[in-house]
């Protein structure tokens, strides 16, 4: 089965403050390496993934290509112009695969720098013909429904999944749903298209950290996780 991966990396990083530095979010350094590096490093370890496409900010496509080429991963990475929204970026990446379409495609957010090979392999184990799946973690906080600033009900956290990426889908069906939804409201993720269409999505739970970098303090937290896993600070001369 032919499997491709699209990495969404076109965000400007407004909440991160990256836009004021002139550096796109996915190239903001984390432990001395661009954020995007970590996702490609983990995904490049999966031999079943044969195509990589990165959706970058349109004005930084050449910079992304130069950066990724310098990292020297084992397989080529196609960099395309992303869109004004996450959904547009995913759609652009899916269209870029149309010339040699895969059976399955993984969608991953570059901001999730703590992704690991075991997490990806756990997702891949459930991916089969027509199976949609997403990584997720169980909710650990106490959850309550709120109405007008007041608690209105309890929520059983055992029924809650905190969704992450990568997420896996049949390529043709995901492209079809994105084309149909083009121009509609912003989508929080790609499973939304399938659940709204009445289709099932399998949830693959794990208990390791796969946090998403959104705010400046998240970089500090992510660096702590990566350091604990054995990554060293490249800005201090490693590599």
pLDDT digits (tens, 9 = 90+) for 198-223: 999 999 999 899 999 999 999 999 99
| Collapsed DSSP state (helix, strand, coil) of residue 202 | strand
Cα separation, 204 vs 202, in Å, equals 7
Number of Cβ within 10 Å of residue 210's Cβ equals: 19
Residues 117-140, mean pLDDT to the nearest whole number: 92
Structure tokens at 163: 């969704």
- 19 band by pLDDT with thresholds 50, 70 and 90: low
DSSP code per residue over 51-109: EEEEEE-GGGHHHHHHHHHHHT-SS-EEEEE--SSHHHHHHHHHHHTTTS--SEEEEEE
Number of Cβ within 10 Å of residue 136's Cβ equals: 21
- Judge contact between 113 and 229, C-beta under 8 A: no
pTM for the structure as a whole? 0.94
Domains of the chain: 3-236 (3.90.550.10)
- Judge contact between 9 and 93, C-beta under 8 A: no
- 239 band by pLDDT with thresholds 50, 70 and 90: very low
- CA 1, distance to chain mean position in Å, is 21
pLDDT tens by residue, 145-179? 999 999 999 999 999 999 999 999 999 999 999 99
8 has a pLDDT exceeding 50? yes
Q: Classify burial at 170, counting beta carbons within 10 Å of its beta carbon; exposed 0-12, middle 13-18, buried 19 or more.
A: buried
pLDDT of residue 17: 67
Percent of the chain with pLDDT over 70: 95
pLDDT of residue 127: 87
Cα separation, 61 vs 228, in Å, equals 32
Q: What is the mean pLDDT of the chain?
A: 93
Structure tokens at 91: 């759609």
Closest to 60 (Cα-Cα) out of 23, 35, 16 = 23
| Collapsed DSSP state (helix, strand, coil) of residue 126 | helix
DSSP code per residue over 129-181: TT--EEEEEE--S--EEEETTEEEEE--GGG-EEEEEEEEEEHHHHHHHHHHH
pLDDT tens by residue, 91-123? 999 999 999 999 999 999 999 999 999 999 999
Place of tokens 């756990």: 122
């Amino acid at each position: 089965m032919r499997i491709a991966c699209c990495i969404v990396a076109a965000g400007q990083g407004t909440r991160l403050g990256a836009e004021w530095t002139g550096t796109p979010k996915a190239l903001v350094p984390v432990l001395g390496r661009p954020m995007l590096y970590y996702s490609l490093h983990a995904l490049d370890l999966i031999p079943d993934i044969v195509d990589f496409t990165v959706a970058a900010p349109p004005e930084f496509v050449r910079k992304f290509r130069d950066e990724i080429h310098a990292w020297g991963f084992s397989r080529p990475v196609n960099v395309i112009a992303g869109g004004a929204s996450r959904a547009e970026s995913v759609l652009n990446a899916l269209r870029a695969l149309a010339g040699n379409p895969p059976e399955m495609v993984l969608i991953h957010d570059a901001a999730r720098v703590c992704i690991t090979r075991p997490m990806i392999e756990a997702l891949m184990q459930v991916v089969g013909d027509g199976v949609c799946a997403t990584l997720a973690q169980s909710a650990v906080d106490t959850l309550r429904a709120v109405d007008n600033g007041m608690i209105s009900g309890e929520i059983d956290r055992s029924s809650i999944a905190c969704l992450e990426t990568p997420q896996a889908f049949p390529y043709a069906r995901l492209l079809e749903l994105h084309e149909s939804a083009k121009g509609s409201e912003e989508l929080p993720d790609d499973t939304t298209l399938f659940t709204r269409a009445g289709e099932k999505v399998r949830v693959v739970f794990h208990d390791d950290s796969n946090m998403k970098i959104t705010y400046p303090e998240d970089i500090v937290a992510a660096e702590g996780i990566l350091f604990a896993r054995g990554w060293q600070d490249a800005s201090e001369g490693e590599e």
